[in-house]
């Protein structure tokens, strides 16, 4: 039987990671995977997380199943954190998932069950896993534009594309710190999107993976909260990988806002049933850690302070890269990078140019041009800037947006 399996495509990110690991050059720089690294190049365990783990270990008495919805305290904490302490509980339910990708898949299954003919609209470019997750759930996917040729947010293009979205279609929106571009809508643009959704009847699916790492936790959640307060239905996929540093603990949450408690009870059952067939129950450890942190005033304050340090370091890395590129005469590209935020930035390179950056300058980013700003040691930024400038010089024409 197994010899009949057609050759599956390899995962491009993990292929690049393996290539990096095999590269003997000591100066090689890994900017592929989306993980935060401190100045030493380490992805640290946050102090608030470590303290929560100690408390959990001291009081642990059982590892009994939690149930299909996962850790109830975690789910309550996620609702309060994402929607705000004053959000009406009667309008929302939360189900713990296997990370943010698990939340996306559960919500995709919910859409498929509710309205099998729905189209899900994703951005172009999009997070690399959006389309595969949605299509694996049996959904049709279309794209909407969001950037112009200069790398600026293109409000007109996005609105024009989304006017084709029908009632009960779903529009996937990244709540902040867009992956891979780092370019977010303005507050005014978010308002226009809410108005269009209300008039057209499509449902937003907000992917929240980087809140706290852009403009601050409240600012990064403001668009999601506005959509949830304005629209009758909103779907939200939440990841705790980045802002709690729980990458390998796979901690996430699916949140659904609906018009009535009866509807939400049916939604919760549908999500539980989908989870049952995919993985049964989510892992407990990360959810227990997050709940412990968010339910304790001192630990929550410690976590918020650490999150601020991470955000400041990311912003400083981007600012330093902009300064070095400008000093090398690449003003247009520097200006484009300066407008981006969050863990990622897009270089204006083709896959061939990214390959040259990798082979000649030992700088590893994705083929699409994405680099992990949060993974650069500060003293390596000049190396990155020089490599980027050299590739740009070979191209000749100034570029400030991805060449796609």
pLDDT in tens, 224-269: 999 999 999 999 999 999 999 999 999 999 999 999 999 999 999 9
Other C-beta atoms closer than 10 Å to the C-beta of 215 total 17
Domain with CATH 3.90.1150.10 in the chain: 11-44+311-395
Q: For the domain with range 48-295, which CATH number is right: 3.40.640.10, 3.30.950.10, 3.40.1160.10, 3.30.420.40?
A: 3.40.640.10
pLDDT in tens, 308-333: 999 999 999 999 999 999 999 999 99
pLDDT in tens, 323-377: 999 999 999 999 999 999 999 999 989 999 999 999 999 999 999 999 999 999 9
**Arithmetic mean of pLDDT, 49-55:** 98
Whether the CB-CB separation of 281 and 68 falls below 8 Å is answered with yes
Q: Alpha-carbon distance 135 to 120, whole Å?
A: 9
Domain with CATH 3.40.640.10 in the chain: 48-295
**Percent of the chain scoring above 90 in pLDDT:** 86
pLDDT band of residue 276 (cuts 50, 70, 90) is: very high
CB burial of residue 5 (10 Å; 0-12, 13-18, 19+) = exposed
Q: Alpha-carbon distance 303 to 339, whole Å?
A: 27
Q: Between vectors from CA 55 to CA 218 and to CA 39, what angle results, nearest 5°?
A: 55
Q: Alpha-carbon distance 114 to 385, whole Å?
A: 49
pLDDT on residue 394: 87
Whether the CB-CB separation of 194 and 230 falls below 8 Å is answered with yes
Decide if pLDDT at 403 tops 80.
no
Which residues sit opposite 257 in a β-bridge? 92, 234
Q: Alpha-carbon distance 342 to 311, whole Å?
A: 8
Taking each helix axis from N to C end, the angle separating 285-295 and 297-327, rounded to the nearest 10 degrees, works out to 100
> Was domain 11-44+311-395 assigned CATH 3.40.50.720?
no
Whether the CB-CB separation of 231 and 259 falls below 8 Å is answered with no
Could you tell me how far CA 115 lies from the centroid of its own chain?
Answer: 25
The structure's pTM equals 0.95
Average pLDDT taken over every residue of the chain: 94
**Percent of the chain scoring above 70 in pLDDT:** 98
**Arithmetic mean of pLDDT, 116-131:** 95
Other C-beta atoms closer than 10 Å to the C-beta of 349 total 25
pLDDT on residue 150: 77
**Residue 387: phi, psi to the nearest 5?**
-65, -45
pLDDT in tens, 67-88: 999 999 999 999 999 999 877 7
Sign of the CA dihedral running 320, 404, 155, 397: positive
pLDDT on residue 397: 59
pLDDT band of residue 404 (cuts 50, 70, 90) is: very low
């Amino acid at each position: 039987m197994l010899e009949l399996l057609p050759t599956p495509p390899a995962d491009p990110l993990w292929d690049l990671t393996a290539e990096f690991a095999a590269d003997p050059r000591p100066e090689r720089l890994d900017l592929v995977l989306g993980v935060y690294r401190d100045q030493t190049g380490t992805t640290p365990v946050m102090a608030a997380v470590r303290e929560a783990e100690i408390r959990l270990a001291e009081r642990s008495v059982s590892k009994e199943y939690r149930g299909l919805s996962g850790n109830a305290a975690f789910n309550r904490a996620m609702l309060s954190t994402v929607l705000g302490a004053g959000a009406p509980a009667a309008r929302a339910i939360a189900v713990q998932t296997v990370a943010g990708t698990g939340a996306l898949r559960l919500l995709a299954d919910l859409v498929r069950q509710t309205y099998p003919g729905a189209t899900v609209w994703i951005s172009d470019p999009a997070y690399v896993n959006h389309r595969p997750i949605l299509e694996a759930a049996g959904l049709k996917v279309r794209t909407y534009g969001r950037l112009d040729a200069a790398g600026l947010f293109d409000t007109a293009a996005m609105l024009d594309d989304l006017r084709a979205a029908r009632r009960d279609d779903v529009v996937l929106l990244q709540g902040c710190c867009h992956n891979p571009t780092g370019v977010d809508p303005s507050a005014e643009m978010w308002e226009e999107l809410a108005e269009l959704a209300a008039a057209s009847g499509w449902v937003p699916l907000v992917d929240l993976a980087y809140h706290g790492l852009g403009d601050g936790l409240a600012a990064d959640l403001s668009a999601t909260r506005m959509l949830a307060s304005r629209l009758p239905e909103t779907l939200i996929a939440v990841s705790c990988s980045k802002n709690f540093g729980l990458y390998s603990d796979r901690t996430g949450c699916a949140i659904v806002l609906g018009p009535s408690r009866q509807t939400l009870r049916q939604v919760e059952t549908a999500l539980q049933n989908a989870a049952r067939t995919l993985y049964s129950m989510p892992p407990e450890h990360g959810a227990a850690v997050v709940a412990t942190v968010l339910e304790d005033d001192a630990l929550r304050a410690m976590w918020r302070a650490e999150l601020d340090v991470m955000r400041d370091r990311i912003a400083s890395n981007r600012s330093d890269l902009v300064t070095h590129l400008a000093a090398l005469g690449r003003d247009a590209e520097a200006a484009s990078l300066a407008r981006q935020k969050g863990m990622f930035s897009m270089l204006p390179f083709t896959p061939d140019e990214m390959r040259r950056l990798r082979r000649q300058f030992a700088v590893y980013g994705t083929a699409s041009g994405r680099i992990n700003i949060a993974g650069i040691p500060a003293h390596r930024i000049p190396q990155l800037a020089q490599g980027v400038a050299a590739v740009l010089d070979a191209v000749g024409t100034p570029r400030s947006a991805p060449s796609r």
